[in-house]
Structure 1
Amino acid sequence: MISYLIFAGTIAGFYSLLSLGLVTAWGQGGLVNLGLVGFVGLGAYTSALLSGAGYPIWIDWVAAAAVSAAVGVALCFVVRNLRGDYLAIVTLGFAEILRLAEMNEKWLTRGSDGISGIVAPFKTQLGDNFAEFYLVLTWVLVGLVAFVLNWLLRSPFGRALRAVRDDEQVAAVAGKSVLRLKLQAFGIGAALSGLGGALYAHFTSYIAPDVFITQLTIYIFLAVTVGGYTRLAGAVIGSLALVALLEATRFVAALVPGLDAVQIATIREFAIAVTLIVVMQLRPDGAFRMTNERSGLGASRPASDACYGKKAVLDDAT
């Protein structure tokens, strides 16, 4: 039982990294990235391939984040004039392109067979204590990332980014580079997705294209929605709640008599969909409501805060 809880806690740490990246790009920058899972896979394969070539693991992780960030920035630049649903559709298609490339470029990724035997840090030396070590390592990284993002989003960069989300024209008039801010936000989100994918690859020691499916993106959006899509704390709390929900439905569905494995899996997905609908109806801002920020989900706030983002950019433009 302890081993199971450690595994679930580690997965929650991976989800937290992805959620923090989504909060930055979507909650703070207004960039809806439905291709999140594509960057997770890109980071995982980058790290796995470099590890197989003999590079140190820390270099693999840095490279995974850097490659994912570079590809994310390039994608954001190409679709720089798209917002909302159009951006979501394009990023979703891009993630599917990456998955198909991973599936078909067998000379590099081994196709559907995947890459196995990925080296994990200190696994041989730690033996049975490896899982505990990786749990702590993952959450230390989550803490560091959350600390840096909290500082960054409270800085003039964060205020300008929120103003771009609320009104691009006002931000541009104030002298801010709208395109640069979008590229930076999207790049940060992609980098954290790539880092999360790299951590997952070295934890499980196996990756394949079937691991990186759109369902993972839905999970992360659910986690961020539950926690509060503009709040860093909400990303972490929402990820923990998501893992708890996923594992709870596993046990509850198994208690229903006469169901086979496929039916149990279907009930779990149905429960997740219902949870998302209920959360969106009852608490659209999530567990952590926004402070002095406009809600993209229709939440109300005091009229005195209506121009918060615009005022912040104007103040910082001098």
Structure 2
Amino acid sequence: MGISLDPQSLVMAQQRSRINKCSRHTESTNLTSFPKFHLLGLSEYPELQPILYGLFLLMYLVTVLGNLLIILVVSSDSHLHTPVHFFLSNLSFADICFISSTVPKMLTDIQSHSRVISYVGCLTRMSLFLFFVCMDDMLLTVMAYDRFVAICHPLHYPVIMNSHFCVFLVLVSFLFSLVKSQLHNLIVLQFPFFKDVEIGNFFCDPSQLLNLTCSDSFTNYLFMYFVGAIFGFLPISGILFSYYKIISSILRNTSAGGKYKAFSTCGSQLSVVCLFYGSASGEYLGSAVPSSPRKAVVASVIYTVVTPMLNPFIYSLRNRDIQSALWRLHSSSI
């Protein structure tokens, strides 16, 4: 005869099982004596590894070279010494560092056939990843605000977006990102015992790392959602509000040709923002489901690899000022 459990008893049984598992593995998963994690990567099939290596190496090189080109053009052309291009160059630098915090380690793992990473190395890479993903987040918000001032208050734009205020916005973004990354590190350092050392991703995913701790899962989820609300909801709210005001201003004051051009620019930028936030939110929230951690890998690839690769094309290479500067740089080098 089968034994049926009511929902409350089932939850209590699962909780006891988790506690017993942590208790049994306390010594083996104390990362002071077992200082290693194992990254599961993108695929376990050996025949796919060369394809993944070539694909991600290509995307990494395109991202780094494209963003370096933007930084070079903006710094070398005096016509581009404006607030919007200042933010673009900072975004390009953040994108290079962002993708460099994850992809090179994955490429090395594929080539060496080893996916082991030390506890210290995992925390370091997690801290860098969080810092630069938050930096990307903040710079996208700052750029949306810059476009809002330029379109909705064009006469006051030179006064509002002066050089000192632009530097201040970047510094605030830097400090905001630093606080987020160190906050995550401090929380993880409180839990030296882990119920598992396998991370179901190709990098040290902060949300999955918290799920591996031998602590109360509810507390972990509460912390994750609180940090996500503060460091994710506020910036995206600023972006959406800025573009709402921009679109309202365009509809009221712009000609038909100007509307098409403005909507084309705003639409492409909003598509990248939605791609970044949509995939990041899906990965972040999906990590709270223990039964399907691998489903978050695709979302991770989109916002950690694809979005930084698209940013140079969407925000810069489609910009006529950047195109003119590229042409002048090419002509001067001939």
TM-score interval, normalised by the smaller of the two chains = under 0.3
TM-score (norm 2): 0.26
Q: Higher relative contact order by CA 8 Å / sep ≥ 6: 1 or 2?
A: 1
Whichever of the two has the greater Rg, that structure is 2
